[in-house]
Structure 1
Amino acid sequence: MTDLRPLSELGRRICILGPSNSGKSTLADAIGRRIGLRVIHLDQFHHLPHTAWKPRPRDAFHALHDAAIQENDWVIDGNYSSCMPQRFARATGLILLDVSTLTSLGRYLYRTLFDRRRVGGLEGAPERIHMDMLRHIVVATPANRARYATMYDALPLPKVRLASTRAINEAYTSWQLDRVRA
């Protein structure tokens, strides 16, 4: 089993970063239920509900983000580098999901084809395969993984890096998390 720091050491304001389709939202949901934190899915703040993932205006997204991080207790999943500095300034812990591009691609295809109850999905926007997302996963994910690893190494927060599906599964077991929503 991977040597993990206890979940309690990450505090009451936890950021989860990682490539698209790495399991950030599912992990955030499980942590939130386990230790009683508000779960914030940044994709839901960034996109307008009942659209085909149409982004909100940048100022509106930042206002939602900045108001949410002022609360005392939360677990937040998503990247959105334009508002990372203020998020990291408030965070008490960080989890990096550092899964491979192939894993991200497989998870994306699975969730769009078979998982109709996706955690962190956009209200009123059914999951569909989009060429833009496939391109993003294949082209942007490798560079993003390197960027997130550099940020992770530089941040002076209590943190956990989960570098494989196996490591993520071990974290669920060690932290006594349940993937299934109640």
Structure 2
Amino acid sequence: MAGYPPVHTLGPRIMVLGPTNSGKSTLAEALGAKLGVPAIHLDRLRHLPHTDWEQRPDSEFAALHDAAISQPAWIMDGSYSILMPKRLQRTTGIIVLDDTLLIRTLRYVRRSLSPRRRPGGLAGGHDSVKLEMIAWLWKTRNKAGGTREHVLSLGIPCVFCHDRHELAALYSAWNLHRPD
């Protein structure tokens, strides 16, 4: 993409979508810091802290999700399509990220083996490389194209980054800083 619209054109409630390990959580934190609004990571709402990604009960996740989207402003990363219709009713802008399967897989392995805190990681969580996640990366390898088509059909202001180079250009255009 040659240029990006000013970030304020996306409004106060921005969804960041894309396949696993495309950079959604890092971008959400950078945008939240820039705009002074909370970055809400759906993975943290779905999974219990201090676990290796153990899921909360569906009803508890839905209640946390609904409370989060009722806030006046947010940057929210993650899909969880079963709850997306409610979220779309409040969303004012959408960013869709993507990258190659190889890059996303390498990010997954690196983040799972690293002891550092990472954007979107669970509080006190214990990441590990899981065969189920490798399979999920493969299964969703072409998901972003369908997501882009769906987002365009909504008529909501949107931005697309197809790879890490376009994402870097977005960070530069919006003067964003990656969280430490």
TM-score bin, normalised by smaller chain: over 0.9
> Could you tell me how far 1:115 is from its partner in structure 2?
6.0
**1:146: which partner in 2?**
145
Q: What amino acid sits opposite 2:168 in the alignment?
A: N
Q: How many residues align?
A: 180
Q: RMSD of the alignment, in Å?
A: 1.4
Partners of 2:101 and 2:137 within 8 A in 1: yes
1:94–1:115 CA distance, 2 compared to 1 (3 A): farther
Give per-residue Cα distances to partners, 1:46-66, cap 9 Å, x unaligned. 001112211111111011001
Provide the residue aligned with 1:178 in structure 2: 177
> Counterpart in 1 of 2:136?
136
Amino acid at match of 2:171: Y
- Shift of the alpha carbon at 1:141? 2.8
SS in 2 for 1:171: helix
Distance apart, 1:126 and its partner CA: 2.1
Runs of 4+ with deviation above 6 angstroms: none
Q: Within 5 Å, which residues of 2 pair with 1:151-166?
A: 151-166=150-165
Residue number in structure 2 paired with 1:78: 78
Cα displacement string for residues 14-66 of structure 1 (whole angstroms, at most 9, x for unaligned residues): 00000000110000000000011111000000001112211111111011001
Residues 92-116 of structure 1 deviation map (CA, whole Å, 9 limit, x = unaligned):
1000002222221121122123361
Deviations along 1:58-102, whole A, 9 cap, x unmatched? 111011001110110100000100011111110110000022222
Letter in 1 for 2:136: H
